Amino acid sequence: MKRLKITLAYIWTLVLIFIMNIHANAASQRLPALGADIHHTSVSGLSSGGYMAGQLFVAHSAIMQGVGIVGAGPYLCSGSWPLPYEIASVTTCKNPEYDFWKPNTPHLIAKTILLSETGKIDNIKHLKNARYYIFGGLNDQTVRPGVVDENIRFFRALGVNERDIWHDNNVEAGHAFITDNPEDSACPVTQSPYINNCGFSQAERVLSQIYPEFTSDETNPAATPQAFDQSEFISEPFTSMDDTGYVYIPPQCKTGTTCAVHVVFHGCRQGVTVIGDKFYTGTGYNQYADANNLILLYPQVHRSDKLTATEPDNPKGCWDYWGFSEPENPFGDFYTKDAPQIRAVYRMIQRLTSSEE
């Protein structure tokens, strides 16, 4: 019996080592060059991921087909007032107690124009060529609907036609990404993993708004999301980005079909280190990828408690919309093409849209 226990323990150890090796090998795979069409790139995200979606979109609007912003305020929100970015990010940009602390959108517009004129972001003329999906849940007390609504004011002032914006603002949802999966959280609540069943697919709404020729045929994905080495795209020490990201690639995108890239940013406390694969497999995007020739890129960030001088201050695993990725830069650069996280994700897009490794 003792020998049997030792044998079983030995076998189980080998199994664990085998599984760990599989994950290590998966994580070390290079993101492939697939020759995707860079000028049909798009992006969406929830919460801090919604803020990052807006930042990546505005910074690189020349290549963008559109953006989906869920539960997040306007571009550069934490720069609304003469406050530290970090303070504004948890007051002005989330649940301002008084109206005079809400996003200062006229100031944000003026600053965006200046950033465009100085080349820190792409020319804002490109914003008029894109399509927009903006969502704020009526029960969202994390990022209130009034904060989300400022996106409309921001983009309209920069020349975007009202007909190109879907303002989805009549759903009694909490702070969450929305699905039609009965196994997800109830629609009005705000709780982990921040994926709620409200009876419709928000992924479908995002993608159909961005891509006018979108096919709404929901199918079981023909492939599975694959891990890739995200670390090769990161050149700064405080990004809080994981070594591993995830990508869903329809089979035809590997065999000559020209596809487009849609980047999906998770929210705070939604990275793989917190909720596993729930975000990159359970938000509904993958079900529409095959029929629409869409490569889905899921970059990842993780939490960091700044326990040492070399760690960023990001205790909830958020995307950077207040400047933690550049702790030595009090003026912030997290919203431009030079931002550490934006640079890293843009390099991933460049890889997927390149025809050569």
Closest CA relative to residue 251, chosen from 295, 287, 284: 295
Residues 6+ apart with CB under 8 A from 111: 76, 79
Query: pLDDT of 237-246, one tens digit each?
Result: 899 999 999 9
pLDDT of 254 > 80? The answer is: yes
The single-letter DSSP state of residue 203 is H
pLDDT of 2 > 80? The answer is: no
Weakest mean pLDDT among 62-71, 85-94, 205-214, 274-283: 85-94
Closest CA relative to residue 240, chosen from 309, 303, 322, 329: 303
Query: pLDDT of 6-48, one tens digit each?
Result: 344 334 433 333 333 344 444 559 999 999 999 999 999 999 9
Burial of 6 from C-beta contacts in 10 A (0-12 / 13-18 / 19+) = exposed
The percent of residues in the chain predicted with pLDDT above 90, rounded, is 83
Determine if residue 42 is left, alpha or beta; phi over 0 gives left, psi from -120 to 50 gives alpha, anything else beta.
beta
| pLDDT value at residue 357 | 67
| pLDDT value at residue 219 | 86
The single-letter DSSP state of residue 60 is T
The mean pLDDT of 68-83, rounded to a whole number, is 97
pLDDT of 192 > 50? The answer is: yes
CA dihedral angle for residue 41, residue 54, residue 189, residue 298, rounded to 10 degrees: 40
Rounded to an integer, what distance in angstroms lies between the CA atom of residue 203 and that of residue 214? 12
Query: pLDDT of 259-289, one tens digit each?
Result: 999 999 999 999 999 999 999 999 999 999 9
Stated pTM of the model: 0.91
> Which residue, chain included where needed, has tokens 């990004």?
239
Query: pLDDT of 117-148, one tens digit each?
Result: 999 999 999 999 999 999 999 999 999 999 99
> Which residue, chain included where needed, has tokens 């280190």?
273
- CB burial of 253-282 (b: ≥16 within 10 Å; e: otherwise) equals beeeeebbbbbbbbbbbbbbebbeebbbbb
